[in-house]
Amino acid sequence: MRIHVVRPGESVYSIAQQYRVSPQKIISDNELSNPNQLVIGQTLVILEETISHAVAPGESVYLIANQYGVSVNELLAANPQITNPALIYPGQVITIPPRTIDFGSIHVNGYAFPNINMNILRRTLPYLTYLSIFSYQVTTDGSLTSIPDEPLIQAAREARVAPLMVITNIQEGGGFNSDIAHAVLTNRQAQDNLINNITTTLREKNYYGLDIDFEYIYPYDRESYNNFLRRVVEALRPLGYIISTALAPKISADQPGLLYEAHDYPIHGDLVDHVIIMTYEWGYTYGPPMAVAPLDQVRRVLDYAVTAIPPEKIMMGIPNYGYVWTLPYTPGTAATTISNPGAVDLARREGAIIQYDQTAQAPFFTYYGDDGKQREVWFEDARSILAKLSLANEFGLGGISYWTIGRYFPQNWLVLNEVYDIIKVL
């Protein structure tokens, strides 16, 4: 696999010639919506095939390996007939192996809303270990709102993907609610009701396990949350269910803030099977323009996380979206969400050049709208996805988790499938 960044004057056809693959393969693999109009700075994932090379006069194993971007050892491994690397001759045909990256095996989770397009879901399921269906909302007495999750569960199991039930402290028609969490975490009867309702739902809906996504918990409810997790694990693990929790992206144990303080990394790491760290939303709807998941900031979170949680239990969050901001940024104004392929299409329509921030390891561009105002767009591409997957490999993490899989992003799945073997637990 190679990731090609489009340069001025290039076309799908010239790029295909460069890598000795068919133009149609590049178009098909990347699902290009407008292959005749590439964007400068756009990425293309090139899935190479084995190439036969006829040795030219004066060529050496080293020069040929360098020409194709493979190591000498890789070249020799693909050509066991070469017993003496110093002795190759003009006209000799040798095999050039495709350039590969092998990070081993990994768990992959994807969050999905019940109203996800079922075609997108089915196309995505082959790349997932778990499908987390978002979400059952918890009420103050431990009741659960109902969601139409049956079609997703059935599709997941048919694809050998383990469906996970997600519970949240989201209030009806609103966002995460600290008071709902407090009411449940400090009332044993409410917890009994909730655990009974969870157990019944897991059994009746044929779920594989539970994901607890309680956010914005009052700091003084930290130990109450820990105790609740202990009760959930004690109830569900003997029944054969796995338990995961979603955690805020902390960089230290004592990080202040309502989002962070009640999330006790060591306790979660000790109790549950997986922790999903929400390493995104540095660039967010009401904030200033920046990468959604800048790699340098994600690294800071992981630097702390692996000291508190076994790395094999950690699933690193990856965003599957970008944002469009209006400039100059004014606090309180909202950015609009955009899909990653949609961002490239927008750059093409506006004649923008895609740039790449080396620190954040993320693509971005600017343009002027019809209203005369400048816009700034940050999103993900094949480069940024590979950078994130490489970081997960560097830290020896057990998994990654996408928020959300509702927008299909072909390059993400191409890159993931090339560098990792996706674990299936069903």
* Rounded distance between C-alpha atoms, residue 423 and residue 385, angstroms: 19
- Residues classed as catalytic: 215
Place of tokens 């299409």: 345
Q: Which residues pair with 367 in a beta bridge?
A: 375
C-alpha dist (Å) from residue 38 to 13, 48, 72, 328, 366: 11, 20, 34, 28, 17
* Rounded distance between C-alpha atoms, residue 274 and residue 262, angstroms: 18
286 contacts 334 by C-beta, under 8 angstroms: yes
Q: What distance separates the 2 farthest-apart alpha carbons in the chain? A: 83
149 contacts 111 by C-beta, under 8 angstroms: no
> Positive or negative, the Cα torsion across 29, 33, 37, 40?
negative
176 contacts 169 by C-beta, under 8 angstroms: yes
C-alpha dist (Å) from residue 359 to 260, 299, 301, 306, 400: 25, 11, 15, 22, 21
* Rounded distance between C-alpha atoms, residue 142 and residue 178, angstroms: 15
SS3 43: strand
Place of tokens 């929790």: 245
| Tokens standing for residue 343 | 């961002």
Question: To 10 degrees, what angle do helices 188-205 and 222-236 make?
Answer: 40
Question: Under the phi-then-psi rule, with left for phi > 0, alpha for psi from -120 to 50, and beta for the rest, what region is 9?
Answer: left
Complete DSSP assignment for 168-221 = E-BPTTS-B-HHHHHHHHT-HHHHHHHHHHHHHHHHHHT-SEEEEE--S--GGG
388 contacts 170 by C-beta, under 8 angstroms: no
